[in-house]
Amino acid sequence: MAVLPQIRHWVLWPAGLAAGLIIVGLTLSAVRALTAADLGIDQTLSLNHTAFLTAIALTLNALFSPLGGSFLLAVVCLFLAVARRSPVNAAAVGAVSLVGWLSSEVLKAVVGRHRPDASLLAHPLVTERGFDSFPSGHTCLAVSLSIALYFLARGTRWQRLTMIGGGLLSISVAASRIYLGAHYPSDVAASFVASLAAILFFSGLWNRYAASLLSRLGLIHRPDLCRESV
C-alpha cells in the first residue's frame, strides 16, 4: 500500500461529489416532504423489530461508534505494524480509514440536518439528538475501513473475499442505523459517496507526497514505478 489506486482526475471528481452531497444534504434539510418520506421508512422498521436483529444492530452501534471505531482501527493498525511487520500498510490503512470516516464530520457541520425524532418512532432503540444526521459517521467508518482493507488485499487471493465481506459489512452497518432510528435512509446512502470521495482525493495526495517520503526513508523503493491510475 505504499502507492494507492488513483483515478486520473483525483481532484475534480471528489470535489464534484462533495459539492453534490452538500446540495443534496441542504435540500433534504430544507424540504420537509423529503424528510417525511425518509422518516416513513424508519417508522416502518421501528414497528418490526426482532430480538435477533436488535442484538446485531446494537452490537454494530457500539463497534462503529467513535470509541469503538477508534479501538477497532487501533487493533487493525497494530496488527499490521507488529504482527505483520508492515508499518507502511498499517499507516496507509489507518490513514485511508480515518480520512473517509472524518469526511462525515465535515459534511455534518456544513449540512446540519436534524436527527430523526425519536418521539415519532414506535420503538426507538437509540436516542440521538442534534443537527448531525447527514451523513452517518458509523456508516462512513464501515465503508472506509472496507475500502482500506480492499486496497490492502488487491492482487492477492483475498481480494474477492475482502470486497464481498466489506460490502456486506458496510450495508449491514448502514441498515442498522436506520433500524435503530438513528439516521434517515438518505443519510446512510450519502455516507457511501462521502467516504469514497474523500478516499479518492486522499489517494492522490498520498501518491504525490507520502510515497516519495516513504522512499526517502528507505521504507519503499521507486514509488513512481508502481503508481497506478484507474
What count of Cα atoms within 13 Å lies in the side-chain half-sphere of residue 100? 31
How far apart are the C-alpha atoms of 53 and 229, rounded to whole Å?
Answer: 41
Q: Are 150 and 168 in contact (CB under 8 A)?
A: no
Secondary structure of residue 229 in the 3-state scheme: strand
Nearest residue to 138 (alpha-carbon basis) of 89, 55, 72? 72
Q: Active-site residue numbers?
A: 138, 183
DSSP 218: T
- Number of Cβ within 10 Å of residue 115's Cβ equals 19
